[in-house]
A and B are shown apart, each in its own frame.
Chain A
Amino acid sequence: MRIAFAGNPNSGKTTMYNALTGRNEKIGNWGGVTVGSKEFQLKKEFAGDKEVIAVDLPGAYSMSPFTPEEGITSEYVRTANPDAIVNIVDATNLSRSLFFTTQLLELGIPVVVALNKTDINEKEGTKIDAAKLSAKLNCPVFETVSTENKGLAEMIAKAISLAGTIQKAPYLQADIDLHDKNAVDAEDRKRYSFVNGIVADVETRKTLSAETNKTDKLDSVLLNPIAGIIIFAAVMFAVFQISQAEGPLGIGKIFEGLFTGWIETFQGWVAAQLENSPAIVSAILADGIVGGVGAVVGFLPLVMVMYFLIALLEDCGYMARVSAVMDPIFKRVGLSGKAVIPVIIGTGCGIPAIMACRTIRDERERRTSTMLTTFIPCGAKIPVIALFAGAFFNGAGWVSTLSYFLGIVLIFLGALLIKSITGYKYRKSFFIMELPKWKVPSLKYAVRSMLERAKAYIIKAATIILICNTLVQVMQTFNWHFQVVEEGAENTSILATIASPFAFLLIPLGFGVWQLAAAAITGFIAKENVVGTLATVFALTSFIDTEELAMTGGASTVATTMGLTTVTALAYLFFNLYTPPCFAAIGAMNSEMKSRGWLWGAIGLQLGTGYTIAFLVYQFGTLFTEGHFGTGFIPGLIAVLCMVAALILIGRKVRAHFDEQYQLHKAAKAAKATA
């Protein structure tokens, strides 16, 4: 048996779904958190002996989709024939929600209305007569509070018991021609007046929504074009400082110190156990597997603290405000304020960030956002940043701040570039964002979100990263004849011969050695691999302990071993941060963009950006520190100029096509207007 959860955005569907299934799907206090359907079995305590699947759907205001994620919902309830529908109604906005309710009631599928967020109504003195509402709608109505599990058991039991029955609609749409816009409009008006009639009958309000309240003052500051942006920058700066920088606020770093200590003890223990084994076994196990994977896992605390803080931000209602305050700036570069949300989600992981772009209505804006959102360093890149900041810059906080800041700058520049290529001037872009009521963020949810992430991170380390590291270790231990590579002949290893041609291309960026090229390549499988592979190929088993390195002057040891100066280290870091994301994220881009041209454009742009940034940092960095350009300046410059030329050519081609299209469009319009 399948029960679909449908309702307006931000009415609490996923919170209810999580409570009933025990899942931990992403929630947040803004409309459009859930962008795809998810399903899972109901907990035994709710389903009894029956097998009941709950289907969580994205929020929708009506059966006629406006954005792609809304379309998933109407498509599902129309065609998938669920056995019952739980319609989650935001009780604080009954007058809007019932429009969709009346449409759901017309489908013939039994509907149970969950009048959610009734706790807020109680606080505000709004009363809804549930019995009367139930009689008017012709379906059971239950008062619920998803966040506190209130009323859920009775509600879902009723939904299960109704499965298989036929819903009688209280309001039936007249038989009209759905292509006749005026008829549809008139019909929708009639439906709204029906809804308005019900609301007037069942709802009494102590505070009117239209009255200015305390949080309006707060919003007024947060949405101020200057103060609001400064506050947002300060909030994000605090998040990065707390999760990643050293200092009194640096909680992430404190945990990291503890953690790496344990890992090193473990690694020492493993090495001791292997004392009598052949050198190869010990190298593969202690250095390759434990060292490489340990290097990655060591940074877990930073990622966890980051997730915790982002979950708090998402849960309180701030995201919608950020989106609104950033809209005018994003508009200038041809994006929508809605693109801010993917960017913030992207600080955690690029895949949900790319999917979150679905809430953007305009196709060009949506694809552009999908293309650019991964420029913001994701959680998997935190270990890379932390490693380089620790080993080359004495753990300076500015490295991480600069990485994120540069990510944002690249998003803006990239958007401008795409805007100029795709001829944005012809299109209008509206922005409307519901400002949800503020709420105190749930610590329980933030902890759960953090632990969930930790679990995923450890699983990834124990699977993908472990396999990659083992492969890297084996490939660098053996040559093509499967003989152990002798000391001094490391260049003949399988890994070296594969990575060397790539390394050649990286010479103008200042890091043209095969070890670094290999790490960058494994980074496409998972960005944490960069750290793991570096640990493996340079056999720097303890370089993750940045504190120890600082004490023993290890930073310079690492620098010498890796053959990097501070300038080339920064260039290499940026190269890894701004080249295309991992394959999984590229896959997500592919399915969201639904266009090969855009996908290849995205990959090309990201490769070009990473290359160019690294080139500029290395060449100009060397110019400033040593008074001359670095090696391979001319070939690198030629490569960069070729990329620019390619961009100009693509732009010309696209725009020529677009102008043509637009003219056809205009001609057609003019013809129709005169007709």
Chain B
Amino acid sequence: MELAYAFNKNAAGAGTKGGSYDAAEGSMTLLDAEPGQTYIIKEINTDDDEMNSFLFRLGCYQGEPITLISKKKKSCIVVIKDGRYNLDKLLSEAIII
């Protein structure tokens, strides 16, 4: 866990500290966001390098916009670039905006 986290910190290049993102000012996950709003991605933190780079190739990476279309308890629909995607809870919570 620790190692993977360190890796991610490097990958995203953001300087968030510790494991909790609520501590960082103004940060939240997609599931806390407002539907219909566009946000700038602050950090992607999946603990999974391959997943991070997959998201990257879809255009989902730090500094890029992401729009929340709708959300449910355990999933949400977002627009990345010009595509709509359904994300599960785990992934929604790994995208920090």
Residues of A near any B CB (own CB < 8 A): 61-62, 64, 66, 92-96, 99-100, 181-182, 185, 188-189, 192, 209-210, 212, 216, 219-220, 223-225, 320, 324, 327-328, 331, 337, 428-435, 669-670, 672-673
**Closest residue of chain A to B74, judged by CB?**
A328
Determine if A92 and B85 form an interchain contact, defined as CB atoms under 8 angstroms apart.
no
B3 interface neighbour in A212, A429, A673, Cβ under 8 Å:
A673
What are 20 residue pairs bridging A and B, where the CB atoms are less than 8 Å apart in the complex? A61-B57, A64-B57, A66-B54, A93-B81, A95-B82, A96-B58, A100-B57, A181-B7, A188-B53, A209-B84, A224-B72, A225-B72, A328-B75, A328-B88, A430-B48, A432-B55, A432-B91, A433-B86, A435-B86, A669-B4
Inter-chain contacts of B90 with A (CB < 8 A): 428-431
Inter-chain contacts of B17 with A (CB < 8 A): none
CB distance from B25 to the nearest CB of A (A): 25
Determine if A225 and B73 form an interchain contact, defined as CB atoms under 8 angstroms apart.
yes
**Closest residue of chain A to B38, judged by CB?**
A210
CA distance A433 to B48 in the complex (A): 17
Determine if B2 and A223 form an interchain contact, defined as CB atoms under 8 angstroms apart.
no
CA distance A96 to B81 in the complex (A): 6
CB distance from B83 to the nearest CB of A (A): 5
Q: How many A-B residue pairs have CB under 8 A?
A: 126
Determine if B46 and A430 form an interchain contact, defined as CB atoms under 8 angstroms apart.
yes
Q: Say whether, besides A64-B57, A181-B11, A216-B69, A92 and B2 are in contact (CB < 8 Å).
A: no
Inter-chain contacts of A220 with B (CB < 8 A): 70
* Residues of chain B from 33 to 83 with CB closer than 8 A to chain A in the complex: 35-36, 38, 46-51, 53-59, 61, 65, 67, 69-70, 72-75, 77, 79-83
Q: Say whether, besides A95-B82, A431-B91, A432-B85, A212 and B74 are in contact (CB < 8 Å).
A: no
CA distance A182 to B83 in the complex (A): 27
* Residues of chain B from 12 to 41 with CB closer than 8 A to chain A in the complex: 35-36, 38
* Secondary structure call for the B interface: mixed
**Closest residue of chain B to A91, judged by CB?**
B82
Q: Say whether, besides A181-B10, A209-B82, A212-B36, A430 and B57 are in contact (CB < 8 Å).
A: no
B82 interface neighbour in A94, A224, A431, Cβ under 8 Å:
A94
Instruction: Report how many residues on chain B are interfacial, defined by Cβ distance under 8 Å.
Output: 48
A672 interface neighbour in B3, B38, B46, B89, Cβ under 8 Å:
B3
Name the residue among B3, B48, B61, B67 with the largest chain A CB count within 10 angstroms. Answer: B3
Determine if B3 and A216 form an interchain contact, defined as CB atoms under 8 angstroms apart.
no
CA distance A630 to B20 in the complex (A): 61
Inter-chain contacts of B2 with A (CB < 8 A): 669-670, 673
A431 interface neighbour in B47, B48, B67, B87, Cβ under 8 Å:
B87
Determine if B88 and A212 form an interchain contact, defined as CB atoms under 8 angstroms apart.
no
Determine if B11 and A185 form an interchain contact, defined as CB atoms under 8 angstroms apart.
yes
Name the residue among B47, B56, B61, B83 with the largest chain A CB count within 10 angstroms. Answer: B83
Determine if B46 and A673 form an interchain contact, defined as CB atoms under 8 angstroms apart.
no
CA distance A430 to B82 in the complex (A): 21
CA distance A94 to B75 in the complex (A): 26
B84 interface neighbour in A99, A181, A435, A669, Cβ under 8 Å:
A435
CB distance from A530 to the nearest CB of B (A): 40
Determine if B84 and A225 form an interchain contact, defined as CB atoms under 8 angstroms apart.
no
Inter-chain contacts of B65 with A (CB < 8 A): 210
**Closest residue of chain A to B84, judged by CB?**
A435
CB distance from A258 to the nearest CB of B (A): 43
Inter-chain contacts of A670 with B (CB < 8 A): 2
Inter-chain contacts of B88 with A (CB < 8 A): 327-328, 331, 337, 430-432
CA distance A594 to B46 in the complex (A): 28
**Closest residue of chain A to B87, judged by CB?**
A432
Inter-chain contacts of B46 with A (CB < 8 A): 428, 430
Inter-chain contacts of B79 with A (CB < 8 A): 209-210
B54 interface neighbour in A61, A209, A224, A327, Cβ under 8 Å:
A61
CB distance from A8 to the nearest CB of B (A): 9
Determine if A223 and B75 form an interchain contact, defined as CB atoms under 8 angstroms apart.
yes
CA distance A431 to B90 in the complex (A): 8
CA distance A225 to B94 in the complex (A): 21
A434 interface neighbour in B6, B48, B85, Cβ under 8 Å:
B85
A223 interface neighbour in B55, B59, B77, B89, Cβ under 8 Å:
B77
Name the residue among B58, B65, B84, B87 with the largest chain A CB count within 10 angstroms. Answer: B84
Determine if B11 and A182 form an interchain contact, defined as CB atoms under 8 angstroms apart.
yes
Inter-chain contacts of A328 with B (CB < 8 A): 74-75, 88-89
CA distance A219 to B84 in the complex (A): 11
CA distance A62 to B50 in the complex (A): 13
**Closest residue of chain A to B52, judged by CB?**
A185
CB distance from B91 to the nearest CB of A (A): 5
CA distance A433 to B46 in the complex (A): 16
**Closest residue of chain B to A64, judged by CB?**
B53
**Closest residue of chain B to A225, judged by CB?**
B72
Inter-chain contacts of B54 with A (CB < 8 A): 61, 66, 432
Inter-chain contacts of A62 with B (CB < 8 A): 57
Q: Say whether, besides A93-B81, A181-B11, A428-B48, A61 and B86 are in contact (CB < 8 Å).
A: no
Q: Say whether, besides A216-B69, A327-B88, A672-B3, A96 and B83 are in contact (CB < 8 Å).
A: yes
**Closest residue of chain A to B76, judged by CB?**
A223
